[in-house]
Amino acid sequence: MERTATDVRGMFDRIAGRYDAANRVMSVGLDVLWRRRAVRLLLDGLDQGSWVLDLGAGTLDGALEILRQRPDARVVAADFARGMLVAGRRKSGADRLVLHAADGLRLPYREASFAAAFTGFCVRNLRELTQGLAELRRVVRPGGRLVVLEFFRPDRPRRFWDGIYTGRLLPVLGWAVGGDRAAYRYLPRSIQDFDARVTFEARLRAAGFADVRGRDLFPGGVASLVEAR
């Protein structure tokens, strides 16, 4: 059955308190390294004091990593699940962020508001992906950079990563740590129902990003980075 935006928002609100712990366990800490690499790419060549958007900011790990690497950046962290932002607000440094409970399909920002935008493990959850990418194109200034960190549907079957690890082990680990069985069954389904990376890159070009480049991350392309301008 197709999930509505309300369903997905409620799911993230329910798991907010244990979200970070579940992520660390399920990725064996690799999500921290993936996010660090993505933010490094995002900030390369960014002007002093630039405004940066973190869309789908969740519990604020990405937004805080932006500040860690560039303390001068002015970071807006937006997520439609208010409970995730509330959980993240307790973290050190979160008082330096601008937090908005905002829908990625109707961003409350003016055109070209941001020099750069980051989104980590978010776009897979957008109900209308084309509209969400159009909104990102609208709020990122011409020539500004968008970096997407995401789990894409694999181009070809990967028996261990998809059949065993993501399909069977991750839901069990997520349930054990996060305490919500349905939420962590959603993860492998959302990956299987999403775009392959090359298809997503084509969507970004159609949305108006002229220069789009993607790369798979260790191990085995479980996660991928896509950079667009």
DSSP result, 1-19: -PPPHHHHHHHHHHHGGGH
- Given a contact cutoff of 8 angstroms between Cβ atoms, the answer to whether 84 and 122 are in contact is no
- Sequential DSSP letters for 77-125: EEES-HHHHHHHTTSTTGGGSEEEE--TTS--S-TT-EEEEEEES-GGG
What confidence score (pLDDT) does residue 182 get? 76
Q: Of 17, 180, 182, which Cα lies nearest the Cα of 83?
A: 17
Could you tell me if 211 and 147 are in contact, meaning their C-beta atoms sit under 8 angstroms apart? no
pLDDT tens for each residue of 95-154: 999 999 999 999 999 999 999 999 999 999 999 999 999 999 999 999 999 999 999 988
Among the listed ranges 41-45, 189-193, 202-206, which one has the minimum average pLDDT value? 189-193
- Measured between alpha carbons, how far is 220 from 28 in angstroms, rounded to an integer? 14
The pLDDT score that the predictor gives to residue 15 is 86
Spatial separation of the C-alpha atoms in residues 86 and 83, rounded to whole Å: 5
Coil/strand/helix, residue 145: strand
Residue 77 in contact with residue 54, Cβ under 8 Å? yes
Separation CA 217–CA 219 (nearest Å): 6
Residue type, 194: F
Question: What's the pTM?
Answer: 0.92
Q: Per CATH, which fold does 27-154+195-228 belong to?
A: Rossmann fold (3.40.50)
Strands 212-216 and 140-150: unpaired
34-43, 160-169, 189-198, range with the lowest pLDDT: 160-169
SS3 category, 29: coil
State pLDDT tens for residues 57-79. 999 999 999 999 999 999 999 99
